[in-house]
């Protein structure tokens, strides 16, 4: 395993400890605000208003995952529906990300599908696109199944995420091509064993480029979701060579990461969206951001020491 992935694995292990979670949640909120737009929908929409001033569009994401009761599923589904309506007060392109374990995946597949349909119907009424995030590898089969089922039921305002770190993804992408999928390609943020995921960064990067090219070459809309400038440059050259229409490509990044690059791409006329997470359940999302970059762990350590 290379050092980047070794570091990520170690941080995600530590982050799972209850004591660490308790401490970080109490003390690191100020630093977490760099990555999390706030705890309320109003704060998230204010963050999106600010991004729009730079020509960057927002992706609304209510934080929360792996729910364990039907009651929570109902609460999250209702809240997300209300957020879609609130977002509709804005004149911008509207876009939402959801995690299926937030609305019942792992608890009750049928309940999850019903919740997803309710959210998608509300989203469709308000001209809002919905992207299903991809979670850890045990969730992939059911996520693909849900995406196909919902698309086959006529929800065209729906896209999916695929992770280049997983060995299975190339074949997953091919299995989806009959749906002409709108895909977001990411590297993958979860700790995965060598049996399912590549353990060296150069292979994950190469797979990322290859997945983007495959989906674009098939004529499908593709979100290139990375802060890796080298990969972005490489794909921009390839897109130009292949004559890929610009309306089929967008660049997506996370709130608080590489704002300079987000602004530059938007100023150059590319379609750029930033993922805007918000809510009180920010810890799992935040720990994945810490696990991506050693410098971030240092900031958290300082916040913990300062108290
Ligand atoms: C819009 C969007 C949606 C996503 N959705 C999913 C999803 O559904 N499922 C999933 O598994 N993953 C998702 N991810 C996360 C993704 O898998 C990666 O973990 C994350 O994007 C970091 O990888 P990278 O592609 O930027 O490349 P890296 O090679 O990790 O990073 C490239 C450069 O980006 C900067 N950078 C990256 N991460 C950080 C950070 N945390 N703090 C500061 N700088 C950083 C650094 O300058 C770094 O050198 C999403 C990412 C984006 C942008």
**Residue 125 C-alpha to ligand 1 middle, in angstroms?**
31
Kindly give the number of the ligand 1 atom that is closest to the alpha carbon of 133.
8
Q: Is any atom of ligand 1 closer than 6 Å to the C-beta of 226?
A: yes
Q: How far is CA 279 from the centre of its chain?
A: 15
State which of 225, 232, 253, 297 you would mutate to test the pocket of ligand 1, scoring each by most atoms of that ligand within 8 A of its C-beta. 225
Residue position matching structure tokens 């991506």: 292
CA dihedral sign, ordered 67, 71, 73, 78 = negative
Task: List Cβ<8 Å contacts ≥24 apart for 140-147.
Answer: 140/166, 140/168, 140/172, 142/100, 142/105, 142/106, 142/109, 143/100, 143/105, 144/172, 144/175, 144/176, 146/100, 146/105, 146/109, 146/112, 146/113, 146/116, 147/176, 147/179, 147/181
Determine contact, residues 183/161, Cβ cutoff 8 Å: yes
Q: Is any atom of ligand 1 closer than 6 Å to the C-beta of 248?
A: no
Q: Is any atom of ligand 1 closer than 6 Å to the C-beta of 186?
A: yes
Average pLDDT over residues 42-62: 98
Q: Whose CA is nearest to atom 38 of ligand 1?
A: 292
Average pLDDT over residues 182-187: 98
Q: How far is CA 250 from the centre of its chain?
A: 14
307 has pLDDT over 70: no
Kindly give the number of the ligand 1 atom that is closest to the alpha carbon of 225.
53
Lowest-pLDDT range, 154-158, 245-249, 287-291? Answer: 287-291
Q: Is any atom of ligand 1 closer than 6 Å to the C-beta of 252?
A: yes
Span between the terminal Cα atoms of the chain, in Å: 34
- What gap in Å lies between CA 65 and CA 74, rounded to an integer? 13
Helix ranges restricted to H, the chain: 3-15, 18-27, 29-32, 41-53, 70-87, 109-125, 140-152, 169-176, 201-217, 229-242, 259-267, 283-291, 294-306
Residue 246, classed as helix, strand or coil, is helix
**Residue 111 C-alpha to ligand 1 middle, in angstroms?**
31
Q: Is any atom of ligand 1 closer than 6 Å to the C-beta of 188?
A: yes
- pLDDT tier at 304, thresholds 50, 70, 90: confident
Give Dmax over CA atoms of the chain in angstroms. 54
Burial class of residue 141, CB neighbours in 10 A (0-12, 13-18, 19+): exposed
pLDDT at 14: 82
From the list 239, 305, 287, the residue with the least C-alpha distance to 27 is 305
Average pLDDT over residues 33-41: 97
Q: Is any atom of ligand 1 closer than 6 Å to the C-beta of 95?
A: no
Kindly give the number of the ligand 1 atom that is closest to the alpha carbon of 253.
53
Claim: this prediction has a pTM higher than 0.75: yes
Q: Is any atom of ligand 1 closer than 6 Å to the C-beta of 136?
A: no
State which of 31, 260, 292 you would mutate to test the pocket of ligand 1, scoring each by most atoms of that ligand within 8 A of its C-beta. 292
- What gap in Å lies between CA 61 and CA 286, rounded to an integer? 13
Per-residue model confidence as pLDDT tens digits over 277-292: 999 999 999 999 999 9
Per-residue model confidence as pLDDT tens digits over 129-141: 999 999 999 999 9
Residue 68 half-sphere exposure, CB side, CA atoms within 13 Å?
0
Structure tokens at 202: 């150069």
Catalytic residue among 8, 131, 133, 136: 133
- Told to judge if 264 belongs to the known catalytic residues of this protein, a careful annotator would answer no
- Told to judge if 30 belongs to the known catalytic residues of this protein, a careful annotator would answer no
Catalytic residue among 131, 139, 184, 288: 184
Determine contact, residues 196/174, Cβ cutoff 8 Å: no
22 has pLDDT over 70: yes
Please name each of the domains of the chain with its CATH number. Answer: 1-36+282-307 (no CATH), 41-278 (3.20.20.220)
């Amino acid at each position: 395993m290379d050092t980047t992935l070794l570091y990520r694995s170690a941080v995600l292990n530590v982050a799972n400890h209850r004591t660490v979670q308790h401490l970080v949640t109490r003390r690191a909120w100020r630093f977490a605000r760099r990555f999390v737009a706030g705890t309320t929908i109003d704060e998230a929409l204010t963050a999106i208003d600010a991004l729009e001033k730079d020509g960057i569009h927002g992706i609304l994401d209510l934080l929360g995952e792996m729910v364990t009761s039907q009651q929570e599923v109902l609460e999250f589904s209702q809240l997300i529906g209300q957020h879609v309506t609130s977002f509709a007060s804005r004149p911008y392109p509207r876009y939402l990300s959801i995690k299926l374990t937030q609305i019942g995946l792992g608890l009750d597949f049928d309940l999850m599908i019903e919740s997803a349909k309710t959210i998608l119907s509300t989203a469709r009424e308000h001209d809002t696109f919905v992207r299903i995030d991809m979670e850890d590898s045990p969730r992939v089969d059911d996520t693909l199944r849900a995406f196909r089922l919902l698309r086959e039921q006529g929800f065209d305002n729906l896209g999916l995420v695929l992770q280049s770190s997983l060995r299975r993804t190339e074949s997953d992408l091919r299995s989806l091509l009959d749906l002409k999928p709108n895909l977001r390609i990411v590297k993958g943020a979860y700790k995965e064993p060598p049996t399912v995921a590549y353990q060296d960064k150069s292979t994950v990067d190469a797979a990322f480029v290859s997945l983007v090219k495959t989906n674009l070459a098939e004529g499908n809309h593709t979100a290139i979701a990375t802060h890796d400038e080298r990969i972005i440059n490489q794909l921009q050259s390839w897109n130009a060579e292949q004559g890929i229409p610009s309306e089929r490509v967008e660049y997506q990044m996370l709130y608080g990461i590489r704002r300079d690059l987000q602004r530059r791409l938007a100023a150059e006329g590319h379609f750029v969206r930033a993922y805007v997470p918000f809510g009180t359940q920010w810890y799992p999302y935040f720990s994945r951001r810490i696990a991506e970059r050693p410098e971030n762990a240092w900031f958290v350590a300082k916040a913990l020491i300062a108290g």
